[in-house]
């Protein structure tokens, strides 16, 4: 069953058979387990279609999905067991993801094939549940629902290091697509992620309290945020205190979804040192959206966006808000729960057909500090936008209507 020279383990050698009428979970897991037991190697999906429920990865394993191979998610919600995880900033049980891993090193999913999670049953179950219940971040799911836990992702890696996702096409996720929690050294390269625009919470890539992340040469079109950086919620997130930091994003195309790059609103563990460059944001509601709120806490700092095109953005090209969810600005909160935003740079941006260029919205007791816009060129911009409760803002922009920028409750705002 193995190629000893190259340590390759074909799932077909363990009993997986191409076709949608059989489920291959046991065969796929057997290939992964033998590969792991023998020190690692490559688990291969040759051309064909393979149906699977969640499988659990091992150390030192590459899953290679070859061109012409498609891994299909089981359509039966009962096939997905519960496992420990994190969802929207809270530690809790979640449904296991199609590829799940905990406490692993040297894990890769590569190849020119496709992972299609067939998320339709999950989207419908979520919509049915949402119609009669509030499915909050920290609320248990009420008894009697088809969904007992938050929905699975396609890939969910938890406390893993040295991770690579490369070349594959990934589509129709039940919820977030790639979710990395407490991971270090993650590269997502030359991947294509496609989820329908009208599907709930189907983010593309979510580094969550993870560090040293590289995302480049990816194409992303989803039903929510294309890339979203997170670090835990509220008191629990602040107690855990694991930041999301050292993130580089380049040469990516975000061409459908809510937001190209979202930072937050789960900011409790801090988010810092993020660079995005040479990307295209097209047909989105927002380009870059950096968001938090009273009670979240945490610091968001050192965010740089450069040499990027914003086109057909129906809301804001760039938004920094501490009022995510529309909280009352006078709402009392423990000072530990007040977020801090500091040091943002946006340079050499081309903006075309955008409703608003900028929205900045700080808190009365925590204004947003040090924001620089330089080399901004644009046309067909509805308005330059608004700046409220900010300190030290500098804007260099070639816009016909830049003088219409509305500024209030702010200090040292310069338009040059």
In this structure, what are the phi and psi dihedrals at residue 89, rounded to the nearest 5 degrees? Answer: 95, -5
In this structure, what are the phi and psi dihedrals at residue 299, rounded to the nearest 5 degrees? Answer: -115, 135
Coil, helix or strand at residue 94: strand
CA distance 398 to 127: 44
Cα within 13 Å of Cα(146), Cβ side: 17
Residue 265 has pLDDT above 90, yes or no: yes
Residue 60 has pLDDT above 70, yes or no: yes
What is the pTM assigned to this prediction? 0.95
Q: Contact 218/190 with Cβ under 8 angstroms?
A: yes
Under DSSP, the state recorded for 151 is P
Beta strand pairing call for 82-87 and 90-95: antiparallel
Under DSSP, the state recorded for 24 is -
CA angle 88, 180, 237 (to 5 degrees): 40
CA distance 207 to 47: 30
Show the tokens assigned to 395.
Answer: 């804007």
How far does the chain reach from its first CA to its final CA, in angstroms? 68
Average pLDDT score over the chain: 94
Residue 194 has pLDDT above 60, yes or no: yes
Show the tokens assigned to 69.
Answer: 């191979």
| Mean pLDDT across 111-135 | 89
The string of DSSP codes covering 220-283 is: EE-SSEEEEEB---HHHHHHH---EEEEEEES-EE-SEEEEEEE-S--TT-EEEEEEES-EEEE
Of 347 and 145, more confident = 347
CA angle 214, 217, 218 (to 5 degrees): 90
Show the tokens assigned to 315.
Answer: 């809301």
Nearest C-alpha neighbor of 105 from the set 191, 186, 208, 206: 186
Tell me the per-residue pLDDT of 321-365, one tens digit each, with 9 for 90 and over: 999 976 655 556 667 899 999 999 999 999 999 999 999 999 999
Beta strand pairing call for 257-263 and 299-321: unpaired
The string of DSSP codes covering 312-372 is: EEEEEEEEEES-TT---TT----GGG--EEEEEEEEEEEEEEEEEEEEEE-BTTB-EEEEE
List of residues 6+ apart from 400 with CB closer than 8 A: none
Residue 3 has pLDDT above 80, yes or no: no
- What are the beta bridge partners of residue 115? 71, 170
- What are the beta bridge partners of residue 14? none
Give the distance, in angstroms, between the CA of residue 243 and the centroid of all CA atoms in the same chain. 15
Beta strand pairing call for 211-216 and 244-250: parallel
Coil, helix or strand at residue 75: coil
Category of 203 on φ-ψ map: left (φ > 0), alpha (ψ -120 to 50) or beta? beta
Confidence label for 138 from pLDDT (cuts 50, 70 and 90): low
- The predicted structure's pLDDT at residue 264: 97
Residue 170, number of CB atoms within 10 A of its CB: 27
| Mean pLDDT across 67-93 | 97
Residue 134 has pLDDT above 70, yes or no: no
Confidence label for 49 from pLDDT (cuts 50, 70 and 90): very high
| Mean pLDDT across 99-111 | 99
For the chain, give every domain's residue range.
2-415
Beta strand pairing call for 2-3 and 8-10: antiparallel
Q: Contact 215/227 with Cβ under 8 angstroms?
A: yes
CA distance 396 to 374: 5
Q: What is the CATH number of domain 2-415?
A: 2.160.20.10
Give the distance, in angstroms, between the CA of residue 96 and the centroid of all CA atoms in the same chain. 17
Residue 391 has pLDDT above 80, yes or no: yes
Coil, helix or strand at residue 403: helix
CA distance 160 to 208: 12
């Amino acid at each position: 069953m193995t190629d000893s020279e190259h340590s390759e383990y074909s799932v077909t050698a363990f009993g997986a058979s191409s076709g949608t009428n059989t489920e291959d979970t046991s065969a796929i897991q057997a290939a992964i387990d033998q590969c792991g037991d023998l020190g690692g190697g490559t688990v291969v999906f040759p051309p064909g279609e393979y149906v699977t429920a969640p499988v659990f990865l091992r150390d030192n394993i590459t899953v290679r999905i070859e061109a012409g191979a498609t891994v299909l998610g089981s359509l039966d919600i009962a096939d997905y067991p519960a496992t420990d995880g994190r969802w929207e900033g809270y530690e809790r049980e979640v449904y296991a993801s199609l590829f799940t891993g905990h406490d692993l090193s040297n894990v890769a999913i590569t190849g020119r094939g496709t992972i299609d999670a067939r998320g339709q049953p999950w989207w419908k179950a979520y919509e049915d549940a949402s119609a009669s219940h509030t499915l909050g971040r920290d609320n248990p799911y009420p008894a009697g629902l088809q969904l007992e836990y938050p929905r699975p992702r396609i890939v969910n890696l938890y406390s893993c290091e040295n991770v690579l996702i490369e070349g594959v096409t990934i589509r129709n996720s039940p919820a977030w697509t790639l979710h990395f929690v407490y991971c270090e050294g993650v590269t997502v390269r030359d991947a294509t992620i496609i989820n329908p625009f009208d599907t709930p919470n189907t983010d593309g890539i979510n580094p969550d309290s993870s560090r040293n992340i590289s995302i480049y040469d990816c194409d992303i079109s989803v039903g929510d945020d294309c890339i979203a950086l997170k670090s835990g919620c509220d008191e629990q997130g602040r107690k855990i205190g694991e930041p999301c930091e050292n993130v580089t994003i380049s040469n990516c195309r975000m061409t459908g979804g809510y937001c190209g790059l979202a930072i937050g609103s789960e900011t409790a563990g801090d988010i810092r040192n993020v660079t995005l460059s040479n990307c295209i944001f097209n047909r989105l509601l927002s380009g870059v959206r950096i968001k938090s709120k009273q009670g979240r806490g945490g610091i968001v700092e050192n965010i740089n966006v450069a040499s990027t095109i914003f086109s057909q953005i129906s809301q804001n090209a760039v938004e920094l808000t501490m009022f995510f969810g529309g909280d009352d600005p006078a709402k009392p909160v423990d000072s530990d729960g007040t977020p801090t935003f500091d040091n943002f740079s946006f340079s050499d941006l081309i903006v075309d057909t955008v409703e608003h260029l900028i929205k900045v919205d700080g808190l009365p007791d925590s204004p947003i500090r040090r924001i620089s816009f330089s080399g901004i060129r644009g046309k067909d911009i509805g308005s330059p936008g608004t700046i409220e409760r900010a300190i030290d803002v500098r804007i260099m922009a070639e816009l016909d209507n830049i003088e219409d920028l509305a500024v209030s409750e702010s200090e040292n705002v310069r338009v040059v």
